[in-house]
Amino acid sequence: MRPFRFGVDLVVPGSRAEWVAKCRKAEDLGYDVVGAADHVGMAPPFPALVLAAEATERVRLNTFVINACFHNPVLLARDVTGTDQFTDGRLELGIGAGYVEAEFHAAGIEWGTPGQRFARLERAVLELKRLYADPSHKPEPVQKPGPPLLLGGRGDRVLKLAAEHADIVGFTGTAAAKVEGRMSLAGLAELTERVEFARAALDGRDAELNLLVHVTRVTDDRCSTLEAVHRRVPDLSVDELGELPTVLVGSAEAVAEQLLRTRETLGISYFTVIEDDLARLAPVIAKLR
């Protein structure tokens, strides 16, 4: 059974001093991975991770996640291998196909169909692997054959691609939104089916499994907190939300036990929270250490 790993995805842009401070805070709180998102209006991911490496000593650095449609694969390979050099081999590359249509329009990049976006993602993954293996490619990555790849989502195509190529298979824990602009989470049965689908596609290949946690609240008032979450995510009942590993609500001890069960039943050992929950998960991490 794999040991736990905990990551935080930093999404709030700020000054150099602010970025450094929160990277150091994440390391001090016991996180294993500090991530940077790839969205319009946020910190540029590769410079942000180089700065994070300078400010920290232990944590791994990941892109969570690079939008493949925003990057030429050859230039992306340059940035990835160069960042791996500048972080002394601490980089993990998370990559996806992008999901915010307004950002494509803002960048002047064709939104296209889901199939077209998936094709761009697949091309990027294959080109990265080809260039990592090319002895003439420079900069040369510190990690061989290249930085670990995190790839995932919820659809069949992307999970099959992840099963074939990724070191880390990621699950968003989301469902198709029934109302535009409102978060919709997959129920436990749906999430379990997606994990089982990916594991079948892996066909015995060993890959780490990652889950994006959408809500973390360490509290002694679990019932009223789950009711508040339900008002934000009304598609699932309070009881259904309470059994989700993407919704961690309860005392530090109870949440730690929930994560232990999730690792035992689903094989997920790597959990990522968004910046807002940076401090909230820390007592749970301490319990599990």
| Cα–Cα distance measured from residue 51 to residue 6, given in angstroms and rounded to the nearest whole number | 20
Range of the domain at 172: 152-289
Q: What is the CATH number of the domain that holds 103?
A: 3.20.20.30
For 115, the enclosing helix (H) or strand (E) is helix 114-133
User: Is residue 94 within 8 Å of residue 61, measured between CB atoms?
Assistant: no
My answer on whether 226 and 267 are in the same domain is yes
Note whether 136 and 85 are same-domain residues. yes
Which of 147, 179, 202 is the endpoint of a domain? 147
Q: Are residues 175 and 272 in the same domain?
A: yes
Domain end marker among 126, 147, 168: 147
Series of mean pLDDT values for 10-residue runs along the chain (289 residues):
97 96 98 97 97 98 97 98 98 96 96 97 98 96 97 95 98 81 88 98 97 98 97 95 98 98 98 98 97
Q: Are residues 163 and 52 in the same domain?
A: no
* Pair 12, 92 in one domain: yes
- Decide: 211 and 171 in contact? Cβ < 8 Å: yes
152 DSSP β-pair partners: 170
pLDDT value at residue 49: 98
Global pTM reads 0.97
Six token digits for residue 123: 């091309």
Same domain, 121 and 191: no
94 and 172 assigned to the same domain: no
CB 48 within 8 A of CB 87: no
Angle value at C-alpha 240, between 235 and 245, nearest 5 degrees: 110
What is the pLDDT at residue 149? 98
Beta bridge partners of 272: 7, 212
Q: How many CA atoms lie within 13 A of 1 on its CB side?
A: 12
33 and 4 within one domain: yes
Please say which residue of 96, 113, 147 terminates a domain.
Answer: 147
| pLDDT at position 180 | 61
Question: Are 87 and 216 part of one and the same domain?
Answer: no
- Res 179: pLDDT: 60
- With b for 16 or more beta-carbon neighbours within 10 A and e for fewer, the 192-223 pattern comes to eebbebbbebbeeeebbbbbbbbbbbbbeebe
Give the position of tokens 């535009």. Answer: 180
